[in-house]
């Protein structure tokens, strides 16, 4: 076969298949991707510049599959909450993707739009100057860190039975690994909000 009348590959199909592979195994490779689509490895390069672009396309896909509605949000706290929750939900649906995103610069326009909204909301909240970037970094660190937690819910800390009594005790107190992630996220978001609120009161006054 050479050039078919209708293309065998589409970028969308590529991203879908790659995401399936990541969901199933935590990784993907071009040979496996090609096999899943039923196409040769090298033909992928007719649609995409390489592995990195596929990764970035996956980020855009999951972010756009988890939209947020700022119009429905009343006040900066609700708006910030809905952005961070949507980000978390995106990775909650594809937890094994988060570790792969870490080496990659954000280029996807959907994701940049999310950060743009974040900047607007924080300015609306009252942050000014350098504090805006600092606040974005803080929110971002929090959200990324939690997305990564989701990737390894039951193995983040695996202390041996002896030693580490405080850590072992704390883990025993918690709910199941899945619930733990959810509870910790809500807890963390509350901490984050309270912290930002208190910072605003300190500087505005």
Partner DNA sequence: ACCTGAACACCGTTCAAGT
Interacting residues toward DNA by CB under 7 A: 1-4, 7-9, 28-32, 39-43, 45-47, 50-52
Of 7, 50, 75, 145, the residue at the interface with a second copy (CB under 8 A) is 145
- Smallest separation, CB 105 to DNA (Å): 15
| Residue 28 binding partner per list DNA, a second copy, none, with a CB distance cut-off of 5 to 8 Å that depends on partner kind | DNA
The listed partner (DNA, a second copy, none) that binds 19, CB under 5 to 8 Å by sort, is none
Taking the C-alpha atoms of residue 88 and residue 186, their distance in angstroms, rounded to an integer, is 11
Angle at 147 between CA 115 and CA 30, to 5 degrees: 90
Q: Which does 132 bind (CB under 5 to 8 A by kind): DNA, a second copy, none?
A: a second copy
The CA distances from residue 71 to 63, 78, 82, 83, 123, in Å, are: 18, 10, 11, 12, 16
> How many CB atoms are closer than 10 A to CB 15?
22
d(CA 94, CA 103): 17
What is the rounded (10 degree) CA torsion for 103, 109, 111, 116?
Answer: 120
Q: For residues 47 and 180, which CB has a smaller minimum distance to a second copy in the complex?
A: 180
What residues make contact with a second copy under the rule CB under 8 A? 99, 102-103, 105-107, 109, 112-113, 115-116, 118-120, 122-123, 129-138, 140-146, 148-149, 152, 155-159, 163-167, 169-171, 173-175, 180-181, 183-184, 187-188, 190-199
């Amino acid at each position: 076969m050479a050039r078919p009348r209708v293309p065998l590959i589409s970028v969308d199909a590529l991203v879908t298949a790659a995401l399936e592979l990541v969901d199933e195994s935590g990784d993907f490779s071009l040979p496996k991707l090609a096999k899943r689509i039923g196409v040769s490895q090298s033909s992928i390069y007719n649609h995409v510049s390489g592995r990195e672009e596929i990764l970035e396309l996956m980020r855009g896909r999951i972010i756009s599959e988890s939209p947020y509605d700022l119009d429905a949000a009343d006040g900066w706290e609700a708006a910030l909450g809905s952005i961070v929750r949507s980000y978390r939900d995106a990775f909650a649906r594809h937890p094994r993707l988060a570790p792969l995103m870490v080496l990659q610069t954000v280029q996807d326009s959907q994701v940049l739009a999310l950060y743009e909204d974040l900047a607007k909301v924080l300015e609306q909240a009252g942050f000014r100057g350098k504090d805006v970037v600092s606040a974005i970094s803080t929110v971002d660190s929090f959200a990324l860190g939690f997305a990564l937690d989701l990737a390894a819910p039951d193995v983040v800390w695996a202390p041996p039975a002896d030693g580490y009594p405080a850590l072992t005790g704390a883990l025993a107190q918690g709910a199941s690994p899945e619930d733990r992630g959810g509870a910790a996220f809500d807890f963390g978001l509350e901490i984050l909000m309270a912290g930002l609120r208190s910072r605003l009161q300190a500087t505005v006054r």
